[in-house]
Structure 1
């Protein structure tokens, strides 16, 4: 059991999230463009589709309510990648997606404690941002960084799925790259109150450089699927340094 001291607070691993809300949208994007965007990480995007020319980008907003890191909003741009060491025969196709992990390319947050913890413990590329949240028949949000609009999303209500869909613990890996080091973090999550919808999200890009990167993937476009979870219970283990 390891511990980290962040801003005078001792965190004992794994870090626990007891309550959080989640909205995600999955987009099919050009694999070559996605690879160019994350080449700095040394990781390889998980390719599928005709000619293995497609990849998956997942854009998401988290509202962390009860966690070891406090309460905060977090936006993420994630690209699905092959685990390091994946053989060429296992690196492509729909089956490869089942073992793919999420490389975290953007991760703005609105609180300084989680920013320091995320960068120090896991090497996540957290930066400070401002969030505007819209509630009502549709859920929506805007993210601005240094006073410049980066991204906005509005979600249509999804269709409830059986509770068994998310009630079983799911083990997943996320990857990060900061200060020249690539890391893998293993996590476990249990979802409840899950809703899905084909498409179902409106994406708007601003003038911040993050928006230009998303545009290079061919966004905005229709989402493959959008989803939400009324609660996410999860843990984050210590990060491990990995090779490409």
Structure 2
């Protein structure tokens, strides 16, 4: 078992690692987008977009409904690209998180301070039916993204 390390406290809550997330639902999707448009969203010249084909980048959307998490019960939308540090070899493949909206203030602050993630607080709804889940992301009160995915059931 990994040794627990204390990072510090935020809002009187002790932050320790590793962090165990005991219950969550997630969906991750990848989309092909123009590499030049993706590169224009990267800051400065510290990163480069990984092209999955000539002039084509991979845009990743991850939708997370954290139900039992030390940082709270919250929804999150990850928006990012496959990328690498500028000048790294072709064998280096990672991700660059462009935006990471969440719907709770604590996880926003913790994610920004502890992990350096570009989290912001906004409305994110996760609506479940027996057959599907719909995530809706709002920006300034306006619907910015709506994704519906089939609901996968596991036999417990």
Structure 2: distance between partners of 1:143 and 1:25: 15
How many Å apart are 1:156 and its aligned residue? 3.7
Partner of 1:107: 100
Which of residues 102, 117, 128 is equivalent to 1:135? 128
Deviations 1:20-69 (A, max 9, x none): 110111101111110001134721111131xx311101111101111121
Name segments (4+ residues, structure 1) moved above 3 Å.
none
Picking from 150, 155, 160, the partner of 2:144 is 150
Unaligned runs of 5+ in 2: none
**Inter-partner Cα distance in structure 2 for 1:143 and 1:69:** 20
In structure 1, the partner of 2:33 is: 29
Partner residue in 2 for 1:11: 15
Q: What is the Cα deviation at residue 157 of structure 1? A: 5.3
Residue 61 of structure 2 corresponds to which residue in structure 1? 59
- State the number of aligned residues: 150
Q: Could you state the TM-score of these two structures normalised by the residue count of structure 1?
A: 0.56
Range with greater deviation from structure 2 (59-68 or 149-158)? 149-158
| Aligned-partner Cα distance in 1 for 2:106–2:146 | 24
- Structure whose residues are more often helix by fraction: 1
Give the match for residue 79 of structure 1.
Answer: 81
Structure 1: distance between partners of 2:23 and 2:87: 34
Compared with structure 1, are the counterparts of its residues 135 and 30 closer, same or farther at alpha carbon in structure 2 (3 Å cutoff)?
same
RMSD between aligned alpha carbons? Answer: 2.2
Equivalents in 2 of 1:127, 1:41: separation in Å?
24
Give the TM-score of the pair, scaled to structure 2: 0.85
Is 1:121 the counterpart of 2:114? The answer is yes
